[in-house]
Structure formats: C-alpha cells, structure tokens
C-alpha cells in the first residue's frame, strides 16, 4: 500500500524509524520534514491532508510533539478524519468507529514500540460502517 507520512522536527526521528520498521509493508511517500531543524507543523500537515483528501493516497500519517497541532491542521480539510492516537486500542477504534484516514501520533509521549503497535492496529482494522457511517456523514460542514 502506498501511503504518505510527514512530521515536524519533533516527529522527525520517529518518522524515520517507522519508515524503516514498515519498509516491507508500505511504499512511503515522505512529505518531510527532512531534518531535526525547527519547522512549523502546518507547513507539513496541510500539503499531506490535501493529497489524502484528493485520494492521491488512501491514508496519511502525521507526527509532531503532541500530535495536537498536526490533528488541528488536518481536520480543517473536508473529508479528512485525522485521529490522534497514543495507544493501539485508540488506533483500532478510530478506524472502526471514525473511519480515520489520517493517523496522528505524539512523538514526545509514546515509545517507538508503541508507535509500531499503533500503526499495526490502525492498518489492520476496517471501518465498521452501520451507525458509524451515519455519524461520520455528519462531520463535514
């Protein structure tokens, strides 16, 4: 599966490690950043979200220090459902219930192992539909 991943400086190291950990499972498009030099998270969240919303990629991954800045930016985009995940069970539920198309992770608050488990949960879980479809149909304004 081809997916897009991006981070700011706070998420750079985790982004690089996740690309290596999942190199055999995903064809990653790297939307930056490309070093630990300080950058502004909206400059990475918005381009990635536009590309996911345009169906260029089925899913995206955004990583910053807390995850909140990335999630706030991504969720400004119509048809983007970005979920901030700090535990594998939340990643599972954000797919089952919210049909999330962007996984957001807080690099400063989770270990690399937890991030791997979150990615496993997110990408191995399908949307349940049913009553959840009705709810996500009400998200766009």
Name the residues annotated as catalytic: 64, 97
Q: Burial level of 9, CB count in 10 A (0-12/13-18/19+)?
A: middle
Query: What is d(CA 77, CA 68) in angstroms, rounded to the nearest whole number?
Result: 15
CB nearer ligand RB5, residue 32 or residue 65: 65
CB nearer ligand RB5, residue 2 or residue 87: 87
CB nearer ligand RB5, residue 10 or residue 118: 10
With CB atoms as reference, the residue minimizing the distance to ligand RB5 is: 69
Query: What is d(CA 66, CA 71) in angstroms, rounded to the nearest whole number?
Result: 9
Binding interface with ligand RB5 (CB under 6 A):
8, 10, 41, 64-66, 68-69
User: How far apart are CB 11 and ligand RB5 at their closest, in Å?
Assistant: 7
- Backbone phi and psi for residue 104, each to the nearest 5 degrees, phi listed first: -115, 135
């Amino acid at each position: 599966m081809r997916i897009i991943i991006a981070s700011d400086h706070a998420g750079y190291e985790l982004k690089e490690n996740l690309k290596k950990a999942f190199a055999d499972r995903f064809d990653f498009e790297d939307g930056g950043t490309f070093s630990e030099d300080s950058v502004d998270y909206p400059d990475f969240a918005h381009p990635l979200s536009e590309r996911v919303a345009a169906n260029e990629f089925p899913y995206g991954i955004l990583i910053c220090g807390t995850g909140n800045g990335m999630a706030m930016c991504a969720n400004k985009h119509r048809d983007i459902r970005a979920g901030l995940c700090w535990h594998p069970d939340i990643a599972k539920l954000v797919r089952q219930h919210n049909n999330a198309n962007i996984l957001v992770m807080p690099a400063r608050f989770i270990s690399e192992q937890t991030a791997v488990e979150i990615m496993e949960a997110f990408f191995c879980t399908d949307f349940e539909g049913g009553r959840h479809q009705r709810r996500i149909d009400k998200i766009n304004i």
